[in-house]
Amino acid sequence: MGDLVLLKKKEKTEEPEVDKPKDAFGIYLIQSGEGPLLTKEEESDLSIGIEQSHRDIFYAICDYDREHKEHFGIVAIK
């Protein structure tokens, strides 16, 4: 059988400091990566809410009668 060899842990070296972005998009990317991502269910709920809000705005602008499916405004979508 072979001899046992003790391995020493390498000392942690400091990671090189990376230049922080100076433009708005770079700052946005750094900040957006700091928060948690949405779950599949949260993303779905959010998209449904946004679609409903868009529909409500459309109906308000067009004075849309949901019951009779008629519009009285200037916009018509088929």
Question: b/e map of 22-51 (b: 16 or more CB within 10 Å)?
Answer: eeeeeeeeeeeeeeeeeeeeeeeeeeeeee
**Which pLDDT tens digit goes with each residue over 27-72?**
998 888 888 889 999 999 999 999 999 988 887 877 766 666 665 5
Instruction: Please check whether residue 46 is in contact with residue 38, taking contact to mean a CB–CB distance below 8 angstroms.
Output: yes
Which residue, among 59, 54, 56, has the nearest Cα to 69 in the 3D structure? Answer: 59
Q: What is the reported pLDDT for 52?
A: 93
Q: Residue 11: helix, strand or coil by DSSP?
A: coil
pLDDT at 75: 52
